[in-house]
Amino acid sequence: MVEFAMNHTWLVPLLPALSFLIIIFFTRPWPRLSSTVSIAFMLSSFAVATLAAYGVFTDAQFKHEPLVYAIRWFGMEGLNIDVGVLLGPSSAMMIFMVTLVASLIQIYSTGYMKGDPGYSVFFSYLSLFAASMLGLIISSNLLQLFVFWELVGLCSYLLIGFYTHKNSAREAAKKAFITTRIGDFGMLLGMLAIQIIFGTLNLYELGQIMPNFEDYTTAGMMTLIAVLLFIGPIGKSGQFPLHVWLPDAMEGPTPVSALIHAATMVVAGVYLVGRTMFLFVEVESAMYLIAVVGAFTAFFAATIAVTQREIKRILAYSTVSQLGYMMLALGVGSLTASFFHLWTHAFFKALMFLGAGSVLHALHHKADVWDMGGLIKKMPITGWTFVIGGLAIAGIPPFAGFWSKDEILLATFNEGHYLLFTLGAVTAFLTAFYIWRMIFLTFFGEEKPDNHPHESPLSMTIPLIVLAVMATVGGLIGTPMNPHWQEWIFFGESHHIVPNIPIMLVSIALAAAGIGLAYVLYIKDRNKANVKDLAIRFKPVYTLLYNKYYMDEMYLWFNHKVVDGSARMTHLFDIYVVDGIVNGLGAVTKGTGGILRYTQNGKIQSYALVFFLAVLVITILLAFNDTTSMALVLGGVSK
Amino acid sequence: MVSLSAAAFWLLALTILGAALLVVMSKNIVHSVLWLIVVFLGIAGVFLMLGAKFLAAIQILVYAGAVCIMVVFGVMLTQREDMSKSNIFNKRMLTAAPVVGLLLVVSGTLAFKSVDKAPVNGGSVPTNTVEAIGELLLSKYVVPFEVAAILLLVALIGAVFLSMEVKPDADND
Amino acid sequence: MLTTISPMHFVVLSAALFAIGLFGAITKKNAITVLICIELMLSAVNINLVAFNMFVTPEAFIGQIFAIFVITVAAAEIGVGLAIMLTIYRNKLSVDLDDFDWMKW
């Protein structure tokens, strides 16, 4: 059974893909049937994934050597592309996590999307997304990975723009697609460079030959490849400066935000960097770039999240921030910490998104946290699971987020990046603050009389409970006392991080301080006078943060002024030079045609004239050029 | 004798060219045909000068006789308007004149250039040309002769077929 | 040059006649004149053939026999040509070549 699952891991993406086809082609008119099919396939995929993961994590040989099998997709001279499965501890962990979260979210969606006209389509998209994401995870080959990478991008586009009647959703979908395309372009260039230089895109082979890359190329070229390849994750994982699409992606249905834009797709960038770690570790500057981008993104997004008012937007910036953490961990060389945070983040962020969805469901999509309050009395399950998620993300032991975040901070500290560590620590404080600000404003405090909340149905609360459990215990597999995670998921050599008690205490203290500050500002101070006072006193800062550092405006400005300006110039070039050449050629053709058409006037005498003229010309050429050819013309008269 | 034949040549040449020019220049096509007869007669004279008596006879018979008569018939059958404007020039004069002039210059130049190289052996044609040509046509050149006969037959049939009047009410589907 | 007759004289004569014929064939409107001019050109060729027959191969009669065939073909040509003209005239009521631009399809 386990053996079968491991040798047929391709079933994991294939089953959701099948369900996508079935729903699209057969069961679309019957919503209930569609969702049942989708969930059934997703659960069987989850079963296969669990078995495969079980197989991997019970056999010590997979610690260092992944299970690889592939078939040839196409081959030609110097370009052989396989499509196959690479099953190691990281991918086993990922398929388990993704199938679990995807199953839960599909179950949740049956409640959340109930009555939506696009119910079946929604499930087909979810299935397609799951298939693409799982295919991406088990890819043995960069090109295969890229194909799935683009497919998840497509699903993201489809699902963000799912409410096609909403203009903002359509715009957000386009924004997401185009922004990630920018990243994908860099990634594609990096892949091409790898193929040209190393002659293979096979991840396993690349891992083998990368340590002695000097045989193939120079360090400068490696840096270029690494940076280009990193642009893809910048786009996909919402790193600064391409993070702008991720908050807007919240226009999609909330389960989509939970599944795609929190738990799975956005971590694809992190996963890719983790997968190609062998490349990045060879280039110190690229690693440093990743670390700086990650730390800056984490801090930057956290500061924005402090001032946001919409519940999903806060969570979106929180996601950007947490992704920054993961990148930071990768940048300081700790695949273990990064993937650990990826793992825990998937649970608590999915939990919080689904909780937010539950709230929105109850409040009929009233999104501003200032309009909520005291919801925990009416929605106990949603409220308390959300609190668990908040504790987890804030980093309160023993919840999952504490262990992974601590791991990241510790790795950063141990690598000697003290500035980045400080940035990370401040972000941890900010994270605790803005999450608990949201929780206090939403679930505690005074109830608003306009709201008539009600607890969500079972189909929505059960996933919340399961995720809350995972968010609670998910981190326990990687504690300093119980370092299973560190034994399995690592790059290079596994290292047992010696627990650093002061750092742990600092991290707890910061989290507690953040929560405490939020409590003081938003619960104790009933009128929120201090907050309003602060907002007025630091109005410039507040405005800057509230407008997300004007990043969108900057992009707009850039687009309008620079891109449009250059477009106008190229437009002129197009009109006067390109069109000029084209039209000129046309005019020349027309003109010559106009002249030449008189030569074909259909009158036999004109033809005779031309004919004799031509004969004369030939005669002159032959007869007067040299004397030998004259004989030809005279027909042998001369001797 | 030499000077006499030279005089004959110049006379014939002037006649031929002058008549040919008049053929082209005259505005009445009937006049053109008449001048054409003069040209053919002059050419027959040239043939006689060159010792081709049989050909001279044929020239007069076929060209000056049959062809010209046929052309006159053609003119009669096709012209209905005023004959004085039946044979005018088109707009191609200015372009045709240089080409024709060039043709004349080129062929003249070539003739003058090859005047020394032209082989002249004898210059006396057997006097009984009819007999000689008759024998040659029915022995050595019998195949072309027969082909020419068939060609004439075909031309005859073709001409008859083409010029046959098709009645508008005839069933010609 | 004026007093002795060489092949060159006949060649030039024939060239001049040919040129006149060509000029007429190109510049005349009337189709029948064009046929006449073609006859002129063919006759010019005949002069050449007979002249060379006399000066080059007087015994073999090659030039004369060739000339006979040319006359034959010319007769056939003018017969068919006139028949075609007649047919065209019947259909279009014109033998003016400027009225016909059919040679472009």
- Longest Cα–Cα distance of chain C, Å, equals 55
* Cβ atoms < 10 Å from Cβ of B90: 17
For residue A630, name the pLDDT band (cuts at 50, 70, 90): low
Query: pLDDT per residue over A87-116, tens digit each?
Result: 888 888 888 888 998 898 888 888 888 888
Residues B148, B74 share a domain: no
- CA angle, residues A556, A298, A356, in degrees to nearest 5: 85
Judged by CB atoms closer than 8 Å, whether chains meet at B118 and A613 is answered as no
DSSP states of A494-525: ---PPP-HHHHHHHHHHHHHHHHHHHIIIIIS
Higher pLDDT, A498 or B136: B136
Higher pLDDT, A344 or A557: A344
For position C14, what pLDDT does the model report?
Answer: 92
Task: Please give the structure tokens belonging to residue B83.
Answer: 């004959």
Burial (CB count <10 Å: 0-12, 13-18, 19+), residue A242: buried
Question: Nearest to residue A159, comparing CAs of A263, A27, A262, A254?
Answer: A254
Higher pLDDT, A23 or B110: A23
How far apart are alpha carbons B10 and B2 in whole angstroms? 12
A80, A381, A384, A476, B3 from A466: Cα distances, Å: 44, 11, 13, 16, 134
Query: pLDDT per residue over A333-386, tens digit each?
Result: 888 888 888 888 888 888 888 888 888 888 776 777 777 777 777 788 888 888
For residue A570, name the pLDDT band (cuts at 50, 70, 90): confident
Residue B167 DSSP label: P
**Which of B114, B116, B120, B121 has the highest number of chain A CBs within 10 A, making it the mutation to test binding with A?**
B114
How far apart are alpha carbons A399 and A469 in whole angstroms? 10
In a domain, B118, yes or no: no
For position A244, what pLDDT does the model report?
Answer: 82
Span A532-559, mean pLDDT?
A: 74
A38, B97, C25 from B24: Cα distances, Å: 96, 13, 9
Q: Is the pLDDT of residue A400 over 70?
A: yes
In a domain, C104, yes or no: no
Query: pLDDT per residue over A47-56, tens digit each?
Result: 988 888 888 8
How far apart are alpha carbons A400 and A527 in whole angstroms? 34
How far apart are alpha carbons A133 and A151 in whole angstroms? 8
Domain end marker among B81, B105, B140: B81
Query: pLDDT per residue over B75-100, tens digit each?
Result: 888 876 677 777 778 888 888 888 88
Task: Measure CA of the first residue to CA of the last residue in chain C; give whole Å.
Answer: 51
Span A611-636, mean pLDDT?
A: 70
In a domain, B173, yes or no: no
Residues B62, B137 share a domain: no
Q: Is the pLDDT of residue A493 over 80?
A: no
For position A626, what pLDDT does the model report?
Answer: 62
Residues B63, B3 share a domain: yes
Structurally, chain B folds into a number of domains equal to 2
Structurally, chain C folds into a number of domains equal to 1
Scanning every residue of chain A, which has its alpha carbon at the shortest distance from the alpha carbon of C7? A637
Contacts of C16 in chain B (CB under 8 A): 17, 104
In a domain, C105, yes or no: no
For residue B167, name the pLDDT band (cuts at 50, 70, 90): low
- Could you tell me if C62 lies within 8 Å of chain A, comparing CB atoms? no
Q: Are A23 and A128 in contact (CB under 8 A)?
A: no
This prediction's pTM: 0.64
Q: Are A353 and A313 in contact (CB under 8 A)?
A: no
Span B31-46, mean pLDDT?
A: 92
A451 phi and psi angles, rounded to 5 deg: -85, 140
Q: Which residue has tokens 């069961």?
A: A27
| Average pLDDT of the residues of chain B | 83
Judged by CB atoms closer than 8 Å, whether chains meet at A605 and C25 is answered as yes
DSSP H helical ranges for A332-444: 335-362, 375-378, 380-394, 400-414, 418-443
Q: Give percent of chain A with pLDDT exceeding 90.
A: 1
Burial (CB count <10 Å: 0-12, 13-18, 19+), residue C101: middle
Q: Is the pLDDT of residue A117 over 60?
A: yes
Q: Are A87 and A66 in contact (CB under 8 A)?
A: yes
- Domain with residue B64: its CATH number is 1.20.120.1200
- Could you tell me if C23 lies within 8 Å of chain A, comparing CB atoms? no
Residues from B contacting A (CB-CB < 8 Å) are 90, 92, 95-96, 99, 102-103, 106, 110, 113-114, 117-119
Among A534-548, B22-36, B113-127, where is mean pLDDT lowest? B113-127
Judged by CB atoms closer than 8 Å, whether chains meet at B96 and A609 is answered as yes
- Domain with residue C81: its CATH number is 1.10.287.3510
Q: Is the pLDDT of residue A528 over 80?
A: no
Q: Give percent of chain B with pLDDT exceeding 70.
A: 87
DSSP states of A426-448: HHHHHHHHHHHHHHHHHHSSPPP
For position A494, what pLDDT does the model report?
Answer: 67
**B and C: number of Cβ contacts within 8 A:** 241
Span B108-132, mean pLDDT?
A: 72
Alpha carbon of C61: minimum distance to chain B alpha carbons (Å): 7
For position A79, what pLDDT does the model report?
Answer: 80
Burial (CB count <10 Å: 0-12, 13-18, 19+), residue C47: buried
In a domain, C1, yes or no: no
**Which of B20, B62, B92 comes nearest C27 by C-beta?**
B92
DSSP states of B67-130: IHHHHHHHHHHH--S-GGGSS-B-TTHHHHHHHHHHHHHHHHHHHHHTTTT---------S-HH
In a domain, B87, yes or no: no
Domain end marker among B81, B103, B120: B81
Question: Nearest to residue A6, comparing CAs of A89, A74, A99, A113?
Answer: A89
Scanning every residue of chain B, which has its alpha carbon at the shortest distance from the alpha carbon of A618? B106
In a domain, C65, yes or no: yes
In a domain, B43, yes or no: yes
Q: Are A363 and A449 in contact (CB under 8 A)?
A: no
- Could you tell me if C22 lies within 8 Å of chain A, comparing CB atoms? yes
What range does the domain containing B64 cover? 1-81
Question: Nearest to residue A432, comparing CAs of A369, A476, A384, A389?
Answer: A389
- CA angle, residues A91, A92, A93, in degrees to nearest 5: 90
Residues B2, B66 share a domain: yes
Judged by CB atoms closer than 8 Å, whether chains meet at A609 and B110 is answered as no
Residues B137, B75 share a domain: no
Highest mean pLDDT of the ranges A86-90, A257-261, A370-374, B20-24: B20-24
How far apart are alpha carbons C88 and C99 in whole angstroms? 11
Judged by CB atoms closer than 8 Å, whether chains meet at A602 and C100 is answered as yes
Span B22-50, mean pLDDT?
A: 90
Judged by CB atoms closer than 8 Å, whether chains meet at C101 and A612 is answered as no
Question: Nearest to residue B55, comparing CAs of C61, A114, A312, A429?
Answer: C61
B160, C18, C45 from A622: Cα distances, Å: 44, 21, 21
Domain end marker among B23, B50, B81: B81
How far apart are alpha carbons A233 and A180 in whole angstroms? 9
Cβ under 8 Å to B: A residues 610-629: 612-613, 616, 619-620, 623
Scanning every residue of chain C, which has its alpha carbon at the shortest distance from the alpha carbon of B14? C13
Q: Is the pLDDT of residue B16 over 90?
A: yes
For position B41, what pLDDT does the model report?
Answer: 93
**A348-361 residues labelled b (16+ CB within 10 A) or e (exposed):** bbbbbbbbbbbbbb
Q: Which residue has tokens 């004349």?
A: B104
For position A628, what pLDDT does the model report?
Answer: 57
Q: Are A137 and A90 in contact (CB under 8 A)?
A: no
Q: Is the pLDDT of residue A638 over 70?
A: no
Span A143-169, mean pLDDT?
A: 87
Residues B67, B135 share a domain: no
How far apart are alpha carbons A634 and A541 in whole angstroms? 101
Span A39-58, mean pLDDT?
A: 88
In a domain, C103, yes or no: no
Span A521-544, mean pLDDT?
A: 73
Q: Are A328 and A294 in contact (CB under 8 A)?
A: yes
Give, for A76, the enclosing helix (H) or strand (E). strand A67-76
Residues B136, B69 share a domain: no
| Average pLDDT of the residues of chain A | 83
For position A639, what pLDDT does the model report?
Answer: 38
In a domain, B37, yes or no: yes
- Could you tell me if C34 lies within 8 Å of chain A, comparing CB atoms? yes
Q: Is the pLDDT of residue C103 over 80?
A: no
Task: Please give the structure tokens belonging to residue A526.
Answer: 């009933």
Q: Rounded to an integer, what is the distance from CA A11 to the centroid of its chain?
A: 23
What range does the domain containing C75 cover? 7-98
Give the type of residue at A590: K
Q: Are B96 and A609 in contact (CB under 8 A)?
A: yes
Judged by CB atoms closer than 8 Å, whether chains meet at B43 and C47 is answered as yes
Alpha carbon of A621: minimum distance to chain C alpha carbons (Å): 19
Q: Rounded to an integer, what is the distance from CA A201 to the centroid of its chain?
A: 21
For position B44, what pLDDT does the model report?
Answer: 92
Query: pLDDT per residue over A594-610, tens digit each?
Result: 888 777 777 888 888 88
Higher pLDDT, B114 or C35: C35
Q: Is the pLDDT of residue B59 over 70?
A: yes
In a domain, C2, yes or no: no
